[in-house]
Chain A
Amino acid sequence: MRRFLAACALLLVTATAAYAVNPDEMLDDPALEARARTISEKLRCLVCQNQSIDASDADLAHDLRVIVRERLTAGDTDEQVLDYVVARYGEFVLLEPRFSARNMLLWGTPLLGLLLGGAAIIVLFRNRAGAAAATGLSREEEERLSKILADGEGSDH
């Protein structure tokens, strides 16, 4: 009885699940298939959480993988395939959002972070340089002081 139940469960499961890319979906042309895989990694499985259609076992992901391959076989460029899918499913399907006004902050963050941080550091050094001049120690005195301090630290790394 138990075995029978397990068998039923297995049937139920195989009816719904298909694990990621399957051999019967794959294209014969290795170059084309490689492009399909790369594109698949950029497309989101719409019913999963943060999974690409390349890694997902959902039916919808399977359908999308087939669509991508159909478009490629029909001679579309990678960009055209993406456009085709976006036209049907919206930008939500792209795991890599497009460069657009709305996504400016998203794509700009790394650069903005470096620029703002860099600017803050430059300001810091400017201020420090001003403050250093204000201590009134000559360069010679500064060096003597740092030598004393270094001796004071001894073996301390």
Chain B
Amino acid sequence: MIVELGHYALVLALALSVLQTVVPFVGARTGDTRQMAMAPNLAFAVFAAIALSFGVLTWGYVASDFSILNVWENSNSQQPLLFKFTGVWGNHEGSMMLWILILSLFGALVAFFGSNLPPSLRAMVISVQGLIATAFTGFILFTSNPFTRLSPAPLEGQDLNPILQDVGLAIHPPLLYLGYVGFSVCFAFAIAALVEGRIDAAWARWVRPWTLTAWIFLTAGIAMGSYWAYYELGWGGWWFWDPVENASFMPWLAGTALLHSALVMEKREALKVWTILLAILAFSLSLLGTFLVRSGVLTSVHAFASDPTRGVVILAILVFFIGGALILFALRSSTLSNGGLFHPISREGALLLNNLILTTAAATVFVGTLYPLAIEALTGEKISVGAPYFDATFAPLMIPLLLAVPFGPLLAWKRGDLFGAAQRLYVFAGIAILAGLVTLYLATGAPVLAAIGVTIGFWLIVGAFAEVWQKSGLPKAGVRTAMARLSGLPRSVWGTAFAHAGLGVITLGIVSVSAFQEEHVLRMAPGDTTDLSGFSVLFEGMEPRQGPNYTENVATFQVSRDGKQIATINPAKRIYTARRMPTTEAGIHTRGFSQIYIALGDPVEGSNQIVVRLWWKPDVTLIWFGPILMVIGGLFSLSDRRLRIGAPVPSARRRQVLAAAE
């Protein structure tokens, strides 16, 4: 009965989504205020219906109701409660439910916070959101219904995929989807602007918090996914350039570009057309990611063709939204007026360079991810595009961008002074180069490339705070004056500083772990000791243990240095009872920013030895601390005063001034 209620709520959500699409749209086009005023309530209603439906599915999982096919396929009564709960989105149907739950949440949030928007713009944005909700709710109901029943109900479920039985699943997909789907708001704003034919600095100011929110979640989601893969998959890699990762990385690149170009539009009313296009692209790439991950096309074009229903429907949705948006863009973008002028060497110019490189990077990832599919579809030949390709193309693109980052905030709007900026940065450059030289000195025989990498990392970190430093007036101004000035700075300045510094922190982590990591693969018997980067690691032995829904063999390693015991590390090999599936649980000990990482291989036949893989990963955690800094930066920017006050006062004054000047 409860399950039918959830099913009914989902059908209701589809019907309400259609209303949410049609009524506000008609209202906005005909100027009917009553119809426009219905938009927020419809958005709330759709959210309520989907939330109810999602809640029922969650109940099915928590209560282990195996009469629901989806629960039977992906859950088990022995699973810990957390994994019963997260199992809801650990499968195709459930993850699509999470997708539309978040989509409708954003729709409701726009309705809730949108009271300062012009009514027709708000109605139009909510209408576009409704159209997306209609498409995906329909997709779920007609091709991926999570409420399909089984009769008679089996006694026990088939268990969640063991690799997914981890806290990571509780955090990673929701964060990632909040990011992915968050860009739907930017998309809706872009479509609304194109339909309305009006776009100005105020538009950019309204879109900015949504872009920032989506970007913050996506950044956190990708970083979290990277750490999850790092400790769960057991071979110590943190980024694999896997198509699924690329699917989330492309919207991030486009979203980062959007964040920067919207800044130009907000301040200077320039790059309007381009910003609209980026808003469309960011969400289009999110849709593409959904398609790639959900259609099975990645395994092979043929796997996709063997069960094409879902894939074809998502592809149709993809073509409809992306194609429709681009056609609308082509038809209407010429009506948008051009904005302010600027010199190539200026803040705008720097942001344009950022956009050029980020979108080229996104295009590279896009082509690299889809090339094998295209080649297979066109010629039938199979090729692979993997990590070595992306390393070879992505890194050279990023280096000029990273070098340019500290200059950006120091250049003035309209016409900047590159020489002046360089003069203000040379101390920071000196610090960075010094750091590189110290690296060469400390790590004798360090590759020159590593020293250059360290220099770039430090350049980004100290350079990020150049603007703050300059504005503080230090060292000339007294400490007290400086503090007063700093506390008076707009929060977005701090946001920029933290986010850019985060980029430097990531760079340091990547360089350090790729240049200085140590790896040992060897056979060890209980009692054996091995050296790892100055540590002594003793293998004590293995013992079996019984988990809630798995059995495991846990190894104990004692790590010591100069005879002093430091840590105990317990990697394990597990067998999940329901699926008989083995997994490797890495043992990790964190020291400062570095980690000792131990994973177990196979027992050696005919002996008491086991293959052990040990890594010393220097500064590896910086790779994930960097994104945390970026998220903090994003939050600072989000809390900036100018995003909280509704009325864009300076723009209004600017118009008066312009009117007076004419």
Query: Which A residues have a C-beta under 8 Å from some C-beta of B?
Result: 2-3, 6, 9-10, 12-14, 17-23, 26, 41-42, 44, 49-52, 55, 90-97, 102-103, 105-107, 109-110, 113-114, 117-118, 121, 125, 128, 131-132, 145-146, 148-149, 152-154, 156-157
| Residue contact A157 to B383, C-beta cutoff 8 Å | no
Identify which of A3, A12, A110, A128 contacts B397 (C-beta below 8 A).
A110
Chain B residue with the shortest CB-CB distance to A37: B519
Residues of B within 8 A of A110 (CB): 360-361, 363-364, 393, 396-397
Residues of A within 8 A of B367 (CB): 105-106, 109
| Residue contact B384 to A95, C-beta cutoff 8 Å | yes
| Residue contact B657 to A95, C-beta cutoff 8 Å | no
| Residue contact B613 to A19, C-beta cutoff 8 Å | yes
C-beta contact mask, B407-426 vs A, less than 8 Å → 1, else 0?
00000001000000000000
In the complex, A32 Cα to B56 Cα: how many Å? 59
In the complex, A5 Cα to B130 Cα: how many Å? 52
Known: A9-B580, A14-B603, A113-B359. A50 touches B242 (CB 8 A): yes
In the complex, A50 Cα to B242 Cα: how many Å? 6
Known: A117-B359, A149-B654. A50 touches B575 (CB 8 A): no
Between-chain CB contacts (< 8 Å), 14 pairs: A3-B544, A3-B551, A18-B601, A19-B584, A19-B599, A26-B521, A50-B241, A92-B382, A97-B371, A106-B389, A109-B364, A110-B360, A114-B360, A153-B654
| Residue contact B359 to A17, C-beta cutoff 8 Å | no
B323 close to A (CB within 8 Å): no
Q: B446: shortest Cβ distance to chain A, in Å?
A: 17
Residues of A within 8 A of B389 (CB): 95-97, 106
Chain B residue with the shortest CB-CB distance to A137: B661
In the complex, A106 Cα to B611 Cα: how many Å? 39
Q: A50: shortest Cβ distance to chain B, in Å?
A: 5
| Residue contact A114 to B661, C-beta cutoff 8 Å | no
In the complex, A55 Cα to B384 Cα: how many Å? 16
Given contact pairs A44-B384, A92-B384, A153-B650, enumerate 8 new A-B contacts (beta carbons under 8 Å). A20-B601, A22-B611, A55-B235, A96-B386, A105-B367, A109-B363, A128-B341, A156-B490
Identify which of B243, B360, B397, B551 contacts A6 (C-beta below 8 A).
B551
| Residue contact A17 to B602, C-beta cutoff 8 Å | yes
| Residue contact A94 to B490, C-beta cutoff 8 Å | no
Q: B497: shortest Cβ distance to chain A, in Å?
A: 13
| Residue contact A95 to B521, C-beta cutoff 8 Å | no
In the complex, A126 Cα to B575 Cα: how many Å? 66
Identify which of A6, A19, A117, A157 contacts B611 (C-beta below 8 A).
A19
Q: Give the contacts of B230-249 with A (CB-CB under 8 A).
A: 234-235, 237, 240-243
B298 close to A (CB within 8 Å): yes
| Residue contact B580 to A97, C-beta cutoff 8 Å | no
| Residue contact A13 to B388, C-beta cutoff 8 Å | no
In the complex, A145 Cα to B492 Cα: how many Å? 26
Known: A17-B602, A95-B384. A149 touches B657 (CB 8 A): yes
Residues of B within 8 A of A51 (CB): 240
Q: B303: shortest Cβ distance to chain A, in Å?
A: 11
Residues of B within 8 A of A157 (CB): 489-490, 492-493, 642
Known: A92-B384, A96-B386, A106-B368. A21 touches B521 (CB 8 A): yes
| Residue contact B602 to A154, C-beta cutoff 8 Å | no
Known: A13-B575, A49-B299, A106-B389. A117 touches B642 (CB 8 A): no
In the complex, A12 Cα to B582 Cα: how many Å? 10
Q: Which of A18, A106, A132 has the most CB of B within 10 A?
A: A106
B336 close to A (CB within 8 Å): no
Residues of B within 8 A of A2 (CB): 551
Residues of B within 8 A of A109 (CB): 360, 363-364, 367-368, 393
Q: B382: shortest Cβ distance to chain A, in Å?
A: 4
Q: B306: shortest Cβ distance to chain A, in Å?
A: 16
Residues of B within 8 A of A18 (CB): 601-602
In the complex, A121 Cα to B544 Cα: how many Å? 64
Residues of A within 8 A of B240 (CB): 50-51
Residues of B within 8 A of A9 (CB): 575, 580, 582
Chain A residue with the shortest CB-CB distance to B384: A44
Identify which of A14, A52, A114 contacts B602 (C-beta below 8 A).
A14
Residues of A within 8 A of B490 (CB): 156-157
| Residue contact B360 to A17, C-beta cutoff 8 Å | no
Known: A90-B382, A156-B642. A20 touches B388 (CB 8 A): no
Residues of A within 8 A of B602 (CB): 14, 17-19, 22
Q: A111: shortest Cβ distance to chain B, in Å?
A: 9
Q: A27: shortest Cβ distance to chain B, in Å?
A: 12
Q: B351: shortest Cβ distance to chain A, in Å?
A: 12
| Residue contact B235 to A156, C-beta cutoff 8 Å | no
| Residue contact A55 to B237, C-beta cutoff 8 Å | yes
B589 close to A (CB within 8 Å): no
Residues of A within 8 A of B580 (CB): 9, 12
B484 close to A (CB within 8 Å): no
In the complex, A91 Cα to B385 Cα: how many Å? 10
Residues of A within 8 A of B338 (CB): 128, 131
Residues of A within 8 A of B599 (CB): 19
In the complex, A3 Cα to B397 Cα: how many Å? 55
B522 close to A (CB within 8 Å): yes
B331 close to A (CB within 8 Å): no
B653 close to A (CB within 8 Å): yes
Known: A14-B603, A50-B243. A152 touches B414 (CB 8 A): no
Known: A23-B611, A114-B360. A94 touches B650 (CB 8 A): no
Residues of B within 8 A of A17 (CB): 582, 602
| Residue contact A95 to B386, C-beta cutoff 8 Å | yes
Residues of A within 8 A of B613 (CB): 19-20
B344 close to A (CB within 8 Å): yes
Known: A26-B521, A157-B492. A145 touches B661 (CB 8 A): yes
Residues of A within 8 A of B360 (CB): 109-110, 113-114, 117
Q: B49: shortest Cβ distance to chain A, in Å?
A: 37
